[in-house]
Amino acid sequence: MADLVDYAGRPLPFILRYVRRRSIAHAVILIAVLAAVACSVGTQYGVKFLVDTLSHGVTAAVWTAFIVLGSLIAADNLLWRVASWIANYAFVGVTGDLRRDLFRHLTGHSPSYFAARMPGTLTSRITATSNAVFIGENMFIWNVLPPCVATIAAIALVYTVNWTMAAGLMVVAGIMVAAMFHLAAGGRPLHHDFADKAAVVDGEMTDVIGNMPLVRAFGGFLREHLRFDATVEREMEARRRSLFYLEKIRIFHGAVTIVLALGLLAWAIMLWEENEATTGDVVLICTLGLSVLHATRDLAVALVDITQHFARLSEALATLLVEHELRDHPEAAPLIRRGASVKFEHVYFRYGAGQQIFEDFNLGFSPGERVGLVGHSGGGKSTVFALLQRFYDVQDGRILIDGQDIARVTQESLRESIGIVPQDISLFHRSVMDNIRYGRPDATDDEVLDAAFAARCDFIENLPEGMRTLVGDRGVRLSGGQRQRIAIARAFLKNAPLLLLDEATSSLDSESEELIREALGRLMYGRTVIAIAHRLSTVRNFDRVVVLQLGTIIQDGPPDQLMRRDGLYRHLVQREMDRLASQAAA
């Protein structure tokens, strides 16, 4: 969906993109509306025909005029219903199409994009985009197009009676529409400001609700209430400025319409007094003239309203349709698995404009090797994981898996080859079965059960609905240890050749930890394993330990050899042993 970026800040071409997908349905709607408007305007001519026929007193002609008028009235109403019936499918379908596309584009962004924005703000903008397009289509078909067509048709009919009046009506209508366009465009900054502040309100609500345990733990309800009140007040003030601007335009149009309507009526009466118009002509001119003026009023109201919706749509598109930072190389090929060797070659990396993390960084992992990454916080351990999964691109150098540059393989095939058990477990508000199956969507129920058994998820049998139990938002209904074991089961099921462990036993009690260590031992067999170790006991049986400090490798070797050397690793192990001894003594 890379071409979506071309529509950032261009709401009209964006809408037309989806209209073209359902071109036949929209064409039928357009034809039906045009025909309905023609019948509606023709109805007023039918009234003139009936009045003039009644004036002549010919009974047969009167009933003919009645039939013509009745047919136009019936056609007018039926054509509107046809257009509306089809629009219920087409317009709703457009909203579904664009939400699917926007969601796919949004999920393709890098972690840095989401880190800089509130999730609630992003989701609200997708909803705002969908609503704005739906309202925009409806307003164009029902509120913009009909008065435009009706005005043209009405002026043409007035011309058959008096060309001077028709010319004057055309000039007045043109000036009115142009003035309304200009005034409506002048309020665009106010509408944009309201759209931005409305999105912030949605983001604030989602942010607070998603962090309710934190708010409750720190007694932050009053602070959050006051903060939200201030955010809502700013949004309401922006909305008032936007609405009052629109109301000023409507008042201006209303005053002009009153003057013009009375002037047109007086003109028609003067023509009748001079015998230049029949009674039917006066009726026709009055009804058509008033229709033109009302049509410009309806058009003006629609234009100022649609300007507000377009402003919100434009703001949402500018936020959502940002070009993806991470893209597959034009010649990217699927990663070919050959044993899961990993190599960092002369890597330079920093987050955005921040401090340099790696400078000429070199590190390798052999197939089937188990390596622990240890060191103080900020040493670069998590960055190694992020770069290896290509959540970010390096500024220089390259990262190889099985001799293939990960920047030149497809991201999907790269991540299919990597299994991960993170420290901060992410679970969907879905069943236990669905969360484990996320590791391999095509897995059978039996395979999911086997993975759960291997990860020692014995707690599942005590859940209310077993594997069908919903885990709650981010797994809130489960304990930390239970969430950790579901993540391990997910890694079992994925069965990837390269395994990343971010202290996979950190959230488990001592009894569960031993069971999981045994399960992880089987999982790690025959795979390349890279583990971030906060508990150094985790890596005591690993092949190697790499000690990182400020993005630099200061020690690298088997853990027993590093213990015999004076260095940071031995210092960290000794400190952990002292801490455990103190806890045991207490």
Flag whether 209 is in a domain. yes
pTM: 0.69
Token output for 483: 């969430």
395 and 313 within one domain = no
Domain boundary, last residue among 292, 320, 348: 320
DSSP structural state of residue 567:
S
Q: What is the pLDDT of residue 2?
A: 42
336 and 285 within one domain = no
DSSP structural state of residue 354:
S
Gap between the Cα atoms of 476 and 536, Å rounded: 29
254 and 146 within one domain = yes
Q: What is the pLDDT of residue 231?
A: 85
- Residue 251 CB coordination number (10 Å): 10
214 and 163 within one domain = yes
173 and 132 within one domain = yes
Gap between the Cα atoms of 410 and 404, Å rounded: 11
Q: What is the pLDDT of residue 58?
A: 61
Tell me which residue range forms the domain holding 60. Answer: 2-320
Flag whether 473 is in a domain. no
How buried is residue 269: exposed, middle or buried, by Cβ count under 10 Å (0-12/13-18/19+)?
Answer: middle
CATH classification at residue 30: 1.20.1560.10
- pLDDT per residue, tens digit, the chain (586 aa), is 447 787 877 888 888 899 999 999 999 999 999 998 888 877 777 776 677 777 766 666 777 777 887 888 888 889 988 998 999 889 989 988 998 888 888 888 877 777 777 676 777 788 888 888 888 888 888 888 888 787 777 777 777 766 776 777 777 777 776 777 677 666 767 767 777 777 777 777 777 776 776 676 667 778 788 888 888 888 888 888 877 877 777 777 777 777 776 777 777 777 767 776 666 666 766 676 666 666 666 676 677 677 767 777 887 788 788 887 778 888 889 988 888 899 999 999 988 777 889 999 999 999 989 999 998 888 899 999 989 999 888 999 999 999 999 999 998 899 889 888 887 787 888 888 998 988 888 889 999 898 888 888 888 888 888 889 888 877 778 877 788 888 888 888 888 889 998 875 555 556 666 666 776 777 777 889 999 887 787 788 889 999 999 999 999 999 999 988 888 888 888 887 877 777 666 5
- Residue 196 CB coordination number (10 Å): 17
Number of domains in the chain: 2
Tokens 């912030």 appear where? 200
Flag whether 468 is in a domain. no
- Residue 55 CB coordination number (10 Å): 11
343 and 292 within one domain = no
284 and 173 within one domain = yes
CB 204, CB 231: distance < 8 Å: yes
Flag whether 479 is in a domain. no
Length of the chain measured in residues: 586
Flag whether 482 is in a domain. no
* 502 phi, psi to nearest 5 deg: -105, 80
Gap between the Cα atoms of 318 and 117, Å rounded: 14
CB 523, CB 462: distance < 8 Å: no
Domain boundary, last residue among 277, 294, 320: 320
Q: What is the pLDDT of residue 42?
A: 76
130 and 183 within one domain = yes
Gap between the Cα atoms of 301 and 557, Å rounded: 75
CB 455, CB 516: distance < 8 Å: yes
Flag whether 374 is in a domain. yes
Token output for 427: 């679970």
Domain boundary, last residue among 280, 298, 320: 320
260 and 192 within one domain = yes
246 and 172 within one domain = yes
192 and 315 within one domain = yes
Q: Which amino acid is at 144?
A: V
292 and 213 within one domain = yes
Calculated CA dihedral for residues 425, 430, 434, 438, nearest 10 degrees: -40
Flag whether 37 is in a domain. yes
Flag whether 453 is in a domain. no
